[in-house]
Structure 1
Amino acid sequence: MPNTSNTRGASRDPRARRTRALLRSAVLDLSMEKDLDGITMGDIAERADVNRATVYLHYKDREDLLLDATESTMDGVVEAARACRLNSDTHTLPDTAPVHLVGLFAQVDKHRAVYRRMLGEDGSPRFAARLEQRLAQAWFDQLRAEASPDAFDETALLVRAHFLSGALLAVVGRWVRGEFEGENGMSTAELTDVTWALIRGGG
């Protein structure tokens, strides 16, 4: 998800990169304390120890900064998904959810407020689309690398990768909103096992 700020080119400047990193970190720190909708540019500037004018030099508005900051939370999630090894024969995949899938849910939980906001009904379609694309690309690259050359169907692998990433994103979105909790709800471990069972059978 590229940054749309009109100062995008300044990212080559080490000082600009450091400032952006401070601002992203400020947003994520604040998200642990209050709802994202309640975080103002003034709050962010104060937490990053810069003035408001500096914030606007790097981001055109709060949403621009929010998208950039939340993008930075995706790396751990995508790498955890990439580490959940898939192959063309789903029957050879282990029955037990791999530790990396457990790690994926842990990565999301670390920034639960961010994901609850960005994947909610009034969230960010750009964020959701970007995360889905990155998850699908990670799995597609893996499936393509492991596919037999004489049975390689790139379109089928691409469909499978997007099917799995879209389904996983739907589960994650509902999980962070608490829809699987309650009297008859699931623990995170149970949810992880169910999710892995669906991934195994989703090809």
Structure 2
Amino acid sequence: MAPMANISNTRGASSDPRARRTRALLRAAVLDLSMEKDLDGITMSNIAERAEVNRATVYLHYKDREDLLLDATESTMEGVVEAARACRLIADAHALSDTTPVHLISLFAQVDKHRAVYRRMLGEDGSQRFAARFERLLAQAWFEQLLTETPPGAFDETALLVRAHFLSGAMLAVIGRWTRGEFDGEGEDGMGVAEVADLTWALIRGRG
């Protein structure tokens, strides 16, 4: 079976360094603002002001706020996917360590840093394109390491691919609902990074 195709974000592939720099400034601006206020309250003018460019410049690179949000959120995926890749998986889930990997805790910490953006993009009215890309990148990371860690012939590659997508789909569901506060009990401060990481690891190990 051929390896899963890698998907790269080509939006910022312009050869013009000024255009790449401007898009980087705009992505950073909307992510910074998302940590300060609700996304619905962020305007293109706010983004332009934070990035120190004029409003017309924003529209030269992005058709609207959602387009910019998609690109900015995709830029946060790299760290999350690499954290997932570092959580070493083996085909026999019951043989995994009881201790939650620090990289899984890091994964949720990175999501929490941009909680408002993930809540929006993985919500009911979010971006299907973002969700599909995120799921595929997570599945790719886990499929590749399952292939590496599994003795030849021990498991069919198709079975490993199904497991990788099962895990990545479950991870998206957990992240989406966690960022929306659906796991927070009444009167509680909310489920923290370490707690959601521990519960997720237990489920990955088949101990939930």
TM-score, normalised on structure 1? Answer: 0.90
Write the distance in 1 (CA, Å) between the matches of 2:123 and 2:42: 17
- In structure 2, stretches of 5+ residues that fail to align are 1-6
Match among 187, 192, 199 for residue 194 of structure 1: 199
Q: Which runs of 5+ in 1 are unaligned?
A: none
Supply the distance in 1 between the matched residues of 2:143 and 2:191 (Cα, whole angstroms).
30
User: Segments of 4+ in structure 1 off by > 2 A?
Assistant: 1-4, 182-191
The one-letter code of the counterpart of 1:199 is: I
Q: As a proportion of its length, which structure holds more helix?
A: 1
When the two chains are superposed, the root-mean-square deviation of aligned CA atoms in Å is 2.0
Does 2:77 match 1:80? no
Match for residue 51 of structure 1?
A: 54
State the identity %: 81
Q: Is the 8 A contact 1:143 1:157 kept in 2?
A: yes
Q: Structure 2-normalised TM-score?
A: 0.88
| Contact 1:20/1:58 (8 A) holds in 2 | yes
Q: Number of residues paired by the alignment? A: 199
Taking the TM superposition and a 5 Å limit, the aligned residue runs for 1:30-49 are 30-49=33-52
Q: Deviations over 1:93-135 (max 9, x none)?
A: 1011111111111011110111111111211111111111111
Deviations 1:63-113 (A, max 9, x none): 211110111111111111111000112122101111111111101111011
Taking the TM superposition and a 5 Å limit, the aligned residue runs for 1:100-115 are 100-115=103-118
Match of 1:27, as an amino acid? V
The one-letter code of the counterpart of 1:118 is M
Which moved further from structure 2: 11-20 or 180-189? 180-189
| Residue in 2 that maps onto 1:128 | 131
**Could you tell me whether the CA contact under 8 Å between 1:132 and 1:162 is conserved in 2?**
yes
